[in-house]
Structure 1
Amino acid sequence: MTKNLLSSAVFAGLIAGLIAALLQFVFVIPLLLEGELYESGTRVHFLVDGMTQSEKGTPGLGGEWSRHAMTVAFNVVTYTGYGLLLVAAMGFARDRTGLAVSAKNGLIWGLCGFIAVQLAPAAGLPPELPGTPAAELAPRQVWWIATILATAAGLALIAFGRGLPAHAAGLALILIPHLVGAPHLDTYFGIAPPELSAEFATISMGVAIVGWCLLGYFAGFFLQRGDN
């Protein structure tokens, strides 16, 4: 049983991590590299005589292969870690509730993982380009971790709780971090164009949901296959 859980997490994390890294190379990293040009001052975005001064164009991946290798490794390790948590939750739910495990409902587990770990925190602290000024790191980390835990617990209550009180408590847990609010500066000090920042945040979340759905799908697939 433990061997099946571990191998399922590793295989699912490897597949999801590699595909997520590929998507990041194509869609995310070029925007990240362009953001670094604004951070370094190579490109500027401000108003001079009523005209916006900015160079348009997304840089290529270039030859920083060590950095790109780190991106692949980071994705594989991260998604494998997420996979361990996901298959543990799937196995626990199966043993306690008799819920079947399959690739199909693995997609739902992956989607819930995305909501808890990516979407809910991003509602208060969206992905940011390099050099974007932000509030102090420690309060943001506390809010980010609390939001993940509260959202995961809330989703569990909604999915497995019995009766309206449990569902209402789950919804309250999901909403509380956002009612409290994430730490932010009192004003904006963006360096890069807002259009680039918005595109980076949107595409980053799009890649994340694909990665999580793949992780859930393959975690369910390998778990079911190992049980047969």
Structure 2
Amino acid sequence: MFSRILTSALFAGAAAGLIAALLQLVFVQPVLLHAELYESGELVHFGAEAVSAHPELPGMFSELTRDALSVIFTMLTYTGYALLMIALMSVAEGQGHTIDGRTGVLWGLAGFIAFHLAPGFTLAPEVPGVAAADVYARQVWWFATVGAALVALWLIAFGGNLISYVIAAVLLMAPHLIGAPEPDVFTGPVPTEIGALFAARAFGIGLVAWVLVGTFAGYFWQSEGKRVEATA
């Protein structure tokens, strides 16, 4: 069983992570590099002449070491996500639920909601140079929100009764009613348009990546199960 989980997670996480990393290099990294120009003071937003929204940025693949490390880190991250997802899939399958590539899409959507949408609803993705609250406080809130969302989604999917749905609704709402840590003042040199574009693209790529993780995880989990049965 452990070998099946590990093998499925490695294939699913590596494949989805590679695609996500390439999408980030194409769509997210240029936005981050643009924001860094304002953070460093090379570009000035307020109190200066208007500047182009399409500045001269370093070539996308000019810093090969940085890009390669980013790809490897993303693949490792999504492999970890896939490992968690497939472990939960094994539990669900043991309860009689079907796990395959098609149902994996739903698992992927649940992962996106738990790890991206739920915390990002109040604590949005941030570009460099913007005001932010204490890192430790934000991390605590983020992990608590993700944990609450995971439990809530499990109750919605497998609870099967009104009490489970009510508890799930409370868990989903509670972190946002409490509120995420906020900075004392809102300030920063980066234009809001860049921040909005970064957040939108981060959510978009996160959605694609998680759907791929779920699809691949379900597919490889089913394939590994068939292979084990065939060799038994």
- After TM superposition, the score normalised by the length of structure 2 is 0.93
Q: Is the 8 A contact 1:46 1:54 kept in 2?
A: no
Q: In 1, Cα distance between the equivalents of 2:168 and 2:50?
A: 48
Q: Is the 8 A contact 2:104 2:216 kept in 1?
A: yes
Q: In 1, Cα distance between the equivalents of 2:163 and 2:93?
A: 23
1:54, distance to aligned residue in structure 2 (A): 3.1
Residues 11-22 of structure 1 mapped to structure 2, 5 A cutoff: 11-22=11-22
Secondary structure, aligned partner of 1:47: coil
Size of the aligned set, in residue pairs, is 224
Match of 2:229?
A: none
Deviation string 1:66-86 (CA, Å, 9 cap, x unpaired) is 100111011100000000000
User: Does residue 57 of structure 1 match 2:54?
Assistant: yes
1:186, distance to aligned residue in structure 2 (A): 3.7
Q: In 1, Cα distance between the equivalents of 2:92 and 2:129?
A: 42
Match of 1:40?
A: 40
Q: Is the 8 A contact 1:47 1:53 kept in 2?
A: no
Deviation string 1:10-47 (CA, Å, 9 cap, x unpaired) is 00011001000110111000001111111111111003
1:62, distance to aligned residue in structure 2 (A): 5.0
User: Does residue 154 of structure 1 match 2:152?
Assistant: yes
Match of 2:230?
A: none
Residues 182-201 of structure 1 mapped to structure 2, 5 A cutoff: 182-201=180-199
Q: Please, which runs of 5 or more residues in structure 2 have no aligned partner?
A: 227-232
Secondary structure, aligned partner of 2:163: helix
Secondary structure, aligned partner of 2:47: strand
Deviation string 1:49-97 (CA, Å, 9 cap, x unpaired) is xxx63332152425111100111011100000000000001111111x2
Match of 1:31?
A: 31
Which of the residues 107, 111, 115 maps onto 1:117?
Answer: 115
1:167, distance to aligned residue in structure 2 (A): 0.6
User: Does residue 218 of structure 1 match 2:219?
Assistant: no
Q: In 2, Cα distance between the equivalents of 1:227 and 1:105?
A: 16
Q: Please, which runs of 5 or more residues in structure 1 have no aligned partner?
A: none
1:162, distance to aligned residue in structure 2 (A): 2.6
Q: In 1, Cα distance between the equivalents of 2:150 and 2:194?
A: 31
Match of 1:131?
A: 129
Moved more, 154-163 or 58-67: 58-67
Secondary structure, aligned partner of 1:124: coil
Deviation string 1:99-118 (CA, Å, 9 cap, x unpaired) is 01110000100110110011
Deviation string 1:137-169 (CA, Å, 9 cap, x unpaired) is 111111000000000001111111131111110
Q: In 2, Cα distance between the equivalents of 1:131 and 1:196?
A: 11
